[in-house]
Amino acid sequence: MRRLALIVLFVTAWVAGTSVPSARGATPDLRQGAALFYQGRHREAEAVFTAVAKTRPRDAQAWVWLGVTWYARGDDTRAASAFEYAVQLQPRNAQALLWWGHALARSGRLQAAQTAFQRVLLAAAPPKVHEMAMQALRVVRPAPTLAARGPAAPAWVNAVESYEALARHYNPALPPEQARRIAWALLEYSREFNLDPRLVVALVVVESGFQPRVRSRAGAIGLGQLMPETARALGVDPDDPVQNLYGAIRHLRDHLDRFGWHNVHLALAAYNAGRAAVERYEGIPPYDETRWYVFNVTNLYTRLRAI
């Protein structure tokens, strides 16, 4: 109960400082409701947004505004329902997902809130919105247990600054804001899929040298060099560094689940050459590229673990 109370206080205070939906480009009736909302006339704003939602039930912006109004009035249940409907209309609406997560968290539905915040990270949104979702995840998600699978990492690996510095070490051309965004995503998704982030760093260095826009001759894209068909199967935009990292980490985790956590070399070989090749040869395929790839990633991973 104490943890839940802290979460409620955190989320309420934080969302109060979060910008409400923009009225720019909205229809006149939504702009009227927004003006009433900004004046603190929430009941009148609610009446306007309710009328719009009834006449235009597939207007996602109207449902987001209605949800924000209910949220401001403390009606978390109806707010969550409004945001959920807006997300059904626009599954990648980052703003609706973010508010939905807040409403769910404040009403005590932490598991559902966690899912909503995770979906924000897969939506196209400004880096600030992704960072807000990551911060919210830190509050609503319980810490991993010691019994979780995968290699344990020392405390320093949780420092965003350390990974930001690593990213810029391997790619000095990375702008600081982008390097921080990459560091956040690398740490958060590594924790989500219970991977040692140093292994992910080693993979990204060998794959792309932390160059978000690099493309291979074969068509692989971005930090984790995802092939377009792999990105589509994972439901990510490979041109977005955050989504690319999510796809790469999830893809590696899938291979670890298939070949076993004690067979990191096989998981890496599958990442490079495909699962079918590893299964066909019952080990690392006899491809020079794949064998060199596995050697480089594991060698760098060993060096990073010694830091």
**What is the Cα–Cα distance from 159 to 70, expressed in whole angstroms?**
37
Q: Which are the contacts of 181, defined by CB distance < 8 A and separation ≥ 6?
A: 127, 130, 131, 241, 242
Q: Which are the contacts of 190, defined by CB distance < 8 A and separation ≥ 6?
A: 196, 197, 200, 249
pLDDT at 240: 92
pLDDT at 16: 41
Name the active-site residue from 164, 192, 207, 279.
207
Query: What are the structural domain ranges in the chain?
Result: 2-140, 155-305
Q: Which CATH architecture has domain 2-140?
A: Alpha Horseshoe (1.25)
Residue-by-residue DSSP string for 102-116: HHHHHTT-HHHHHHH
pLDDT digits (tens, 9 = 90+) for 122-147: 777 777 777 777 777 766 665 443 33
pLDDT digits (tens, 9 = 90+) for 29-86: 899 998 998 888 989 999 999 999 999 999 999 999 999 999 888 888 899 999 999 9
**What is the Cα–Cα distance from 102 to 123, expressed in whole angstroms?**
17
Assigned CATH topology for domain 155-305 = Lysozyme (1.10.530)
Provide the token pair at 233: 């199967």
The stretch 7-22 carries a mean pLDDT of 46
Q: Given the structure tokens 């209910």, which residue do they identify? A: 70
Look up 177 and say whether it is catalytic: no
